[in-house]
Structure 1
Amino acid sequence: MSVHYPSELDHHNGDQERVRVSRTGTKTVGIKKLQRGTGETLWQQLQADLQRRLREGEFTDAFPGELDLRDQYGVSRHTVRAAVRALREEGIVVASRGRSTRINTDAEITQPLGALYSLFASVEAANLRQRSIVRRLDIRADAHVAIRLGLEESAPLLYLERLRLADEQPLAHDCAWLPASIASPLLGADFSHTGLYDELASRCDIRLTGGSEQIRAVVPNSVQHKLLGTTPDVAAMKVERIGTANGTPVEWRTSLIRGDRFSVLADFTARSGYSLNLSATNMP
């Protein structure tokens, strides 16, 4: 059986999506036809379709090379290089001299400043597989946390401790306390693949509307390094948060996040700028 390698004009014919066989003999399913005159360049369309295929679980073994992509889509190598360059700039794929392009398994999770931030949502948005190992989920007392939440020192608290994974690699050690009086229904939730805020809304009818948090760099101890799977030369970011619902504290959370996989992002304008509240802290 002969295999047809399409020319750059082939994308003007045929179905919107097709099955092709690459020069290596690998079948590729659901390739989107690229079209001229749509307002997007061919390389932008190619970039978008490669992102879609990544989301749908293709390229688990290897990312296709330039010649394969040229043959699959019927475009020039210049078009392929522009699309792959854009993916590389976004951190989706990586490439270096002498090595083929490959999927970036160490994608960075970005937290927007000034927003109600969910680590679960951000991991999902980065096209990484989200999973948590639940280490503790129970009711307990903690005088220090209760005071932070404006409660009596002996008030029962729901405690949730998780090791957060992204693509099966440790990302964060996360501990959250909430008043048991409102959060006890969470004892029935499976937090291995769900967000705390989603469960809080659906099971307790509580939706966070604001809060405050402090983010600072720390040096993990040996136990924390082992938990996060980091080497001694990797720092971490410690996030401490009070989450509120209509001004009432409902969550105290501490998160230790790998510094090599986490960053914060601030938007600003020429008129208003932005400000960060920097305060001195006692480093551990």
Structure 2
Amino acid sequence: MNFTHEQVTGTSPGTSSGHGAWAGCIDRSGPLPLWAQVHADLRRRLNEEQFTSDFPGELALVEAYDVSRHTVREALRRLRDEGVVIAGRGRRPRIATGTRRITQPLGALYSLFASVEAEGLEQRSIVRALELRTDPEVAARLSLGAGSELFYLERIRLAGDEPLALDRVWLPAELAKPLMDVDFSHTAVYRELERRCGVRLGGGEETIHAVLPSAAERELLGTGASVPAFAIERRAQGPNGPAEYRRTLVRGDRFAVAVQFSTGGGYRLNLTGTA
């Protein structure tokens, strides 16, 4: 269903009724801000599946609720942060059909590929780089010489039809050269590393902190300026020492981390942010 001016406001273009079709849902003398009331009413309509395919545009909502554009934008921002709708600058809002929050366990060498598919979503990637390169900083993290050749893979990870993460992986080239022929648009690094190179990664260390992505990163992830992300940095061990260094930027509105704890062991929380 496409929402036109007439369908949402109940008026013809160029005709003003003074009140939009949904203005009666707003209590202007109540304690709740107008944006919160618009937000709540839109959530109700979404739950009732009133928007089967399309979602009203910003201007249509302004007229439907008879409120300011700023009020509508704030309500849409909240819906976007909740992962309910997708709305970007210059783009018409749309329902985030099938969007689910991906949950990963702490303390486990997980595969993002497997976690996405466990949610019943198609996992695929847009490969931005697949090459051999040198990087002294990363080489040091892998306990290699500064000039050591590294396998490098950079992908935008999709869950369903929407971006989930920007993923960058480095491996020692002498270990991972057989992966240069792999189509990583729909497979996992760990799966191919074990199948083609005979290497299974073990434990390691990982740090996770919240960040606001840069403008370029937001463009790749399809998020607005107010949506935070998880920055995940991982170094995993192979049979003979460090074998993987990875930096992943995951959308905060589509991702959660989970931990199991007990009264005996519990888990350690590092408040300084250092490894």
TM interval, short-chain normalised: 0.5 to 0.7
State yes or no: 1:204 paired with 2:197. yes
| CA deviation map 1:143-172 (0-9, x unaligned) | 110010000000000000000001110100
**Deviation for aligned residue 1:137:** 0.5
| CA deviation map 1:156-199 (0-9, x unaligned) | 00000000001110100000000000100000111000000000
Matches of 2:261 and 2:205, distance apart in 1: 19
Matches of 2:205 and 2:44, distance apart in 1: 41
Matches of 1:160 and 1:280, distance apart in 2: 26
State yes or no: 1:99 paired with 2:67. no
Letter in 1 for 2:122: R
State yes or no: 1:110 paired with 2:59. no
| CA deviation map 1:43-102 (0-9, x unaligned) | xxxxxxxxxxxxxxxxxxxxxxxxxxxxxxxxxxxxxxxxxxxxxxxxxxxx84561398
Matches of 1:143 and 1:124, distance apart in 2: 35
Matches of 2:240 and 2:233, distance apart in 1: 17
Q: 1:212 aligns to what SS in structure 2?
A: strand
**Deviation for aligned residue 1:237:** 0.5
Unaligned runs of 5+ in 1: 1-94
Matches of 1:171 and 1:198, distance apart in 2: 20
Matches of 1:263 and 1:179, distance apart in 2: 30
Q: What's 2:119 paired with?
A: 126
Asked if structure 1 preserves the Cα contact closer than 8 Å seen for 2:149 and 2:172, the reply is yes
Matches of 2:168 and 2:238, distance apart in 1: 19
Aligned counterpart in structure 2 of residue 270 of structure 1, from 263, 270, 273: 263
Asked if structure 1 preserves the Cα contact closer than 8 Å seen for 2:124 and 2:186, the reply is yes
Matches of 1:239 and 1:260, distance apart in 2: 15
Asked if structure 2 preserves the Cα contact closer than 8 Å seen for 1:171 and 1:257, the reply is yes
Closer, same or farther: CA 129–216 of 1 in aligned 2, 3 Å = same
Aligned counterpart in structure 2 of residue 244 of structure 1, from 232, 237, 246: 237
Coordinate RMSD, CA, aligned: 1.8
State yes or no: 1:155 paired with 2:148. yes
Q: 1:277 aligns to what SS in structure 2?
A: coil
Letter in 2 for 1:203: R
Matches of 2:44 and 2:192, distance apart in 1: 42
Q: 2:131 aligns to what SS in structure 1?
A: strand
Unaligned runs of 5+ in 2: 1-42, 53-95
The answer to which structure, 1 or 2, has the higher relative contact order (CA under 8 A, 6+ apart) is 2
Choose between structure 1 and 2: higher strand proportion: 1
Matches of 1:215 and 1:205, distance apart in 2: 29
**Deviation for aligned residue 1:138:** 0.7
Letter in 2 for 1:189: V
Asked if structure 2 preserves the Cα contact closer than 8 Å seen for 1:108 and 1:260, the reply is yes
Letter in 2 for 1:220: P
Matches of 1:136 and 1:230, distance apart in 2: 22
TM-score (norm 1): 0.63
State yes or no: 1:224 paired with 2:173. no
Matches of 1:256 and 1:210, distance apart in 2: 21
Letter in 1 for 2:135: D
Matches of 1:254 and 1:186, distance apart in 2: 19
TM-score (norm 2): 0.65
